[in-house]
Amino acid sequence: MQKTLSIIIPIYNVETYLEQCLKSVVCQLDEGMESLVEVILVDDGSTDGSGQIADRYAQSRPGMQVIHGPNAGVAAARNTGIKLAQGEWLYFMDSDDWLADNGIAMLLAGMKRYAEADMILFDGYRNSAAKEQPWEHFAHSKRWRAGRKLHKLQRGVLYYPMDFPECRVSLAAPWDKLYRREFLLRCGILFREQLQVLDDMVFNMEVLGKAGCAAYDKSRIYHYRYVEASITNKYQADRVTQDKKVWDYIEWYQTRQSAEAVWEADETEAFRQAYYCRIIRSFAICCRIHFYHRENGKCFGGKQQYLKSVLGSSPYAEAFEKVRFGNLEWRLKALVLFVRCRLYGGVYLLHLAARVLSGG
């Protein structure tokens, strides 16, 4: 049966948070809503009690189904949801977060308000143990039509400060967006399962490369839970390898876009610059979760030697050499300056300063 909205929730070992996530959804599904909304829970091979919690909720909700499968990663889990969904629009939640009060009603209202859009961007909240902060992209609602404005937004997914200095938070996440299902199916857009990191960024990059219209709605629909020990903060021994898979894919994507003459010459260069900025920002993240992480067993000299070897490899060497300073945030400008001057001790000092400023 055709639905208006499909909510897709990948689940993997989140029994601590899953109850709050699912309660935030089902408490909004009254009798009228259940005819409009379906909820697809994709258990990605959980080894804790997450699968049983999902089953318990689904047994009492006719519009909720659970799919259990082997662990294949969040991209594969989201793709499973896309293939099963019957909704006109798709919405992806993370299973350790929760919907804002009246979040579903705000999503449905956004669909009507921006009926011509292929993707709709929303606001939310960032929640940590210490406080709740607004997750706000822009000061005013917006529409972007096909052409240069959407190409600019696409670059913003890679690195928003370059083209959108007024933007306040990342444009890469999937949980603050609605997607028209017919558009995704027609364009063959899925999450890239070969990518273990930044697959959501790549997905949104490709969505905006094909969309005819995108919109921004100021409604705060979602609570994003920031957890210090989450995947974005814990030690990742293979992070450089996984990042390089992303850079290889984006290189291929740029080559295809150029061959199809999608961008004008200045837009091609602008995309390249956004790509360089993204590589440098990800390198800075690697300093935290890989090179200098406390669980990295190398001695300091070994860490520095490995860091230098990465900086000398593709595409890092090109990005640090060719990025324009004016496109970067000040901390990344300092990082580029140290790397260009081969002052690798300065890279470590920047990492320490960032830790102090973040309270880590």
Does residue 67 surpass a pLDDT of 60? yes
Structure tokens that stand for 14 in this block:
């989140």
* pLDDT tens-place string over residues 197-242: 999 999 999 999 999 999 999 999 999 998 765 555 689 999 999 9
- For 231-289, the pLDDT digits (tens) are 556 899 999 999 999 999 999 999 999 999 999 999 999 999 999 999 999 999 999 99
How does DSSP classify residue 323?
-
Mean per-residue pLDDT over the chain, rounded? 94
pLDDT in tens, 315-335: 999 999 999 999 999 999 999
Rounded-to-10 torsion of CA 73, 34, 56, 191: 0
Measure the CA–CA gap between 9 and 213, rounded to whole angstroms. Answer: 25
Does residue 336 carry a pLDDT above 90? yes
Q: Mean per-residue pLDDT for 99-127?
A: 97
Instruction: Provide the 10 A C-beta neighbour count for residue 347.
Output: 21
Which pTM was predicted? Answer: 0.96
pLDDT of the residue at 358:
66
How far is Cα 41 from Cα 38, in angstroms, rounded to an integer?
Answer: 10
CB 104 within 8 A of CB 226: no
What is the structure's pLDDT at 2?
Answer: 79
Of the candidates 10, 41, 36, the residue with the CA atom closest to the CA atom of residue 174: 10
The angle at the Cα of 314, spanning 313 to 315, to the nearest 5 degrees, equals 130
Across the range 80-90, mean pLDDT stands at 97
- Alpha-helical segments (H) within 27-175: 31-34, 50-59, 74-84, 103-113, 148-158, 160-163
pLDDT at 229: 58
